[in-house]
Amino acid sequence: MKKNLGHMLLEANLIDEIQMQIALEVQRKSGKRFGSTLVDLKFVDETVLAAFLSKQVDIPCVSLLNIAIPPGVLSMVPAETARRLNAVPFKTEGGVLFVAMTDPTDINAVTEIEALTGCSVTPLIAPQSSIDKVIQKRYERREMEDTIPSLKELGSLVEDLDPVEALRCILDRLDRVEAALRDLQAQVNQCTSSAKK
């Protein structure tokens, strides 16, 4: 895909030979995808690249930022997998899972998602930044929600709490804070008296 994409972009006059060689060298060192490297180097606008790829491989381009993704669909592909593959599932229809990807020609990624979900996958192209934003906004929010204890869990923690022991713990902490403040005040007084001499 890297060489093919590079040559396709060369033929379309979207990059020149020098830009392609620079991007290939940077891509080789970073391990990033070739298209992402071109965008990072600002050789090609990511929206132009997505539209170009869409036309070249005859795969539609999708704007993820304007789609309400059902939580059940999003949870079909774990966050780690979505990040690694640069792929976000956004709808299901008749047993087909529609997935926005930066590289929809990545057969290994498509096969992995199909094995993971048990669905037939229809890949679509999306710009890297929109995939990153959805992963950050939707997946990370879900991960945070999963770590927040429910009211029921908090209730059981409160029930298990010994009020006398909790009060002792709070008073002990207050004593330590008060001692630290006294030490700090003594140091300030000592500095002040030294400065006056």
Residue spans of the domains in the chain: they are: 2-44, 64-147, 152-196
CA 62/CA 195 separation, integer angstroms: 69
The pLDDT of residue 117 is: 93
Please tell me the number of Cα atoms within 13 Å of 132 on its side-chain side: 5
Q: Is the pTM of this model over 0.75?
A: no
- What average pLDDT score do residues 30-58 get? 87
Structure confidence at residue 115 (pLDDT):
95
pLDDT above 60 for 143: no
* Band of pLDDT at residue 145, cut at 50, 70 and 90: low
Q: At 183, is the pLDDT very low, low, confident or very high (cuts 50, 70, 90)? A: confident
For 83-95, the pLDDT digits (tens) are 999 899 999 999 8
Q: For residue 100, how many C-alpha atoms fall within 13 Å in the half-sphere facing its CB?
A: 25
CATH 3.30.300.160 assigned to 64-147: yes
